[in-house]
Amino acid sequence: MVIVGAGPTGLACGIECKKRGLNPILLEKGCVVNSLYNYPTNMGFFTTPELLEIGDIPMTSLNEKPVRGEALKYYRRVAEHYKLDIRQYQRVNRIEGEDGSFLAHTTDADGVDHQYAAKKVILATGYYDVPNLLHCAGEKLPKVLHYYKEPHPYYNQDVLVIGAKNSAVIAALELWWTGARVTMVHRGDAIHQNVKYWLKPNIENRIKAGDIPMHWRSTVKEVRPNSVVLATPEGDKEIRNDWVLAMTGYQPDTKFLEAHGIVFDAETKRPKTNPETLESDRKGMYLAGVIVAGMHTHEIFIENGRFHGKQIASAIAAVLK
């Protein structure tokens, strides 16, 4: 078995395969649960610990909802407990072959190429690696970032935060608390309704008080070395700027999936899979986690994607044994 991705869903797939006597190798371009590692340093989850559990191993937390550090520790412990064979920092370039005889080609952090033969392949690549772009002039300037870790580097800097969902709100508040001069811009006219209930009134009060200026129904027209130009209902506005944090969301790597024979439905943009086994149109290749939902990334999270491992491993074991 080759499993591409060692996030929570990939780990769950590896565990369920091992439980059924299969021999999985997990290939991960970054570190174990790389997406969670890239979350903001102080981020807390929306959900309770038991909904993040995999492999029948309890997760504990000091509070009602776990934080990033606790999740990282938990998934490390699970990987160690099940002795999962995880090849970290190996990027999968391509997967050749057919059902029963696949060959995965990877390159590690030292530039060395590797090959892995497998009878079946599970793709659990998530969606955190391809940010939604702004499609504006100057977007490739180094000051434009799509990932936010912590506020300290932005102290006493002019920072524009794009978006109005949880990631944008968390970044804006932390930056303001740390002494950055924060401005927000959002194409809508309100903070998103699904923002955490303890954050929503906080950011709305900061905006109302003028502590964090917000440009509603506006977009970024151009990013310049020392400023940004916003397209607003009142016309273009240029404001002083040192950093742009584009918290505009992410999407699955559809190019990688399409290159490996994954077919997407033209209407729903979902990859075609067998609903019982999650096998794709490319026989012997299965999809797990958020990529099953295609562009509808809000439908599958760790809480439900973790069950895909049992579904897929059961189907594979029934065929191979």
Q: Are the C-beta atoms of 126 and 64 separated by less than 8 Å?
A: no
pLDDT more than 70, % of the chain: 97
State the Cα–Cα distance between residues 99 and 118, nearest whole angstrom. 9
> pLDDT band at residue 267, thresholds of 50, 70 and 90?
confident
Q: Which residues have a Cβ under 8 Å from the Cβ of 199 and sit 6 or more positions away?
A: 166, 169, 170, 173
Q: What is the pLDDT of residue 68?
A: 93
Q: Averaged over 298-309, what is the pLDDT?
A: 69
> pLDDT band at residue 293, thresholds of 50, 70 and 90?
confident
The residue among 256 and 46 whose pLDDT is bigger is 256
3-state SS track over the chain: CEEECCCHHHHHHHHHHHHCCCCCEEECCCCCCHHHHCCCCCCECCCCHHHHCCCCCCCCCCCCCCEHHHHHHHHHHHHHHCCCEEECCEEEEEEEEECCEEEEEEEECCCCEEEEEECCEEECCCCCCEECCCCCECCCCCCEECCCCCCHHHCCCEEEEECCCHHHHHHHHHHHHHCCEEEEECCCCCCCCCCCCCCHHHHHHHHHHCCCCEECCCEEEEEECCEEEEEECCEEEEEECCEEEECCCEECCHHHHHHCCCCECCCCCCECECCCCCEECCCCEEECHHHHHCCCCCCCCHHHHCCHHHHHHHHHHHHHC
Q: What is the pLDDT of residue 104?
A: 98
CA distance to 92, 208, 313, per residue, from 123 (Å): 11, 45, 13
State the Cα–Cα distance between residues 156 and 58, nearest whole angstrom. 42
Q: Which residues have a Cβ under 8 Å from the Cβ of 43 and sit 6 or more positions away?
A: 67, 68, 170
Q: What is the pLDDT of residue 86?
A: 98
98-150 pLDDT, tens digit per residue, is: 999 999 999 999 999 999 999 999 999 987 778 899 999 999 999 999 999 99
21-76 pLDDT, tens digit per residue, is: 999 999 999 999 998 998 888 888 878 888 889 999 999 898 888 999 999 999 99
Q: What is the pLDDT of residue 302?
A: 57
Q: Are the C-beta atoms of 297 and 126 separated by less than 8 Å?
A: no
Residue 299 scores a pLDDT above 70: no
Residue 236 scores a pLDDT above 60: yes
> pLDDT band at residue 161, thresholds of 50, 70 and 90?
very high
User: Which residue in the block uniquely carries the two structure tokens 């899979």?
Assistant: 273
Count of C-beta atoms within a 10 Å radius of residue 10: 31
- β-bridge pairing 2-4 and 101-108: unpaired
The residue among 279 and 305 whose pLDDT is bigger is 279
The residue among 196 and 185 whose pLDDT is bigger is 185
The residue among 17 and 197 whose pLDDT is bigger is 17
**Mean pLDDT over the full length of the chain:** 92
User: Which residue in the block uniquely carries the two structure tokens 């959900």?
Assistant: 47
